[in-house]
């Protein structure tokens, strides 16, 4: 069982991820934009963060940068989930220190397997 924070402005993504991940026994916290996500990341201290790029108020790239700069959140692993498939965006994400870059629409079973495999590797 892991604590997972979802930061995405799309309610459908929240519904799908919440359903699959809680079914697997994970504890889920949610935020709908970058500033809210930063606050929740520091308070919740998740084992994994699922982060969208295109959001109101602050991009996922900016969120990832701020998380990695903050001593309280710099070690939280990040999976970026986005519809942006350009190589420059992928490289930018990895350059910020993310663990995975997943393009939407993501196969939910595949996403769940990637999350489980990642969490197992951290034990």
Give a yes or no: residue 77 inside a domain. Answer: yes
Give a yes or no: residue 121 inside a domain. Answer: no
What average pLDDT does the segment 13-28 reach? 93
Q: Is the pLDDT of residue 107 over 90?
A: no
Give a yes or no: residue 102 inside a domain. Answer: yes
Q: What is the pLDDT of residues 43-92, one digit of tens each?
A: 999 999 999 999 989 999 999 999 999 999 999 999 999 887 888 989 99
Q: What is the pLDDT of residues 86-95, one digit of tens each?
A: 889 899 999 9
Q: Is the pLDDT of residue 123 over 80?
A: no
pLDDT at 83: 84
Give a yes or no: residue 51 inside a domain. Answer: yes
Q: Is the pLDDT of residue 105 over 80?
A: no
Give a yes or no: residue 9 inside a domain. Answer: yes
Give the domain CATH number at 52: 3.40.50.2300
Sorting pLDDT into bands at 50, 70 and 90, what band is 10?
very high
Q: Could you please report the per-residue DSSP string of 26-95?
A: -EEEEESSHHHHHHHHHHH--SEEEE-SS-SSS-HHHHHHHHHHSTTTTT--EEEEES---HHHHHHHHH
Q: What mean pLDDT is reported for the chain? A: 93
Beta strand 78-82 with 48-51: parallel, antiparallel or unpaired?
Answer: parallel
Give the total number of structural domains in the chain: 1
Give a yes or no: residue 113 inside a domain. Answer: no
Give a yes or no: residue 30 inside a domain. Answer: yes
pLDDT at 101: 92
User: How far apart, in whole angstroms, are the C-alpha atoms of residue 91 and residue 69?
Assistant: 19
CA distances from 47 to 7, 23, 89 (A): 14, 17, 24
Better pLDDT: 112 or 40:
40
Which residues span the domain enclosing 37? 3-84+94-107
Q: What is the pTM of this model?
A: 0.93
């Amino acid at each position: 069982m892991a604590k997972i924070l979802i930061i995405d402005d799309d309610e459908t993504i929240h519904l799908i991820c919440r359903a699959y991940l809680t079914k697997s026994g994970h504890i889920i916290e949610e935020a709908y934009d970058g500033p809210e996500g930063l606050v929740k990341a520091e308070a919740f201290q998740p084992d994994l963060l699922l982060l969208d790029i295109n959001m109101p108020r602050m991009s996922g790239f900016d969120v990832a940068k701020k998380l990695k700069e903050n001593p309280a959140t710099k070690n939280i692993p990040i999976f970026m989930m986005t519809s942006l498939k350009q190589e420059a965006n992928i490289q930018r994400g990895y350059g910020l220190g993310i663990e995975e870059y997943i393009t939407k629409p993501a196969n939910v079973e595949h996403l769940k397997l990637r999350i489980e495999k990642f969490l197992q590797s951290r034990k």
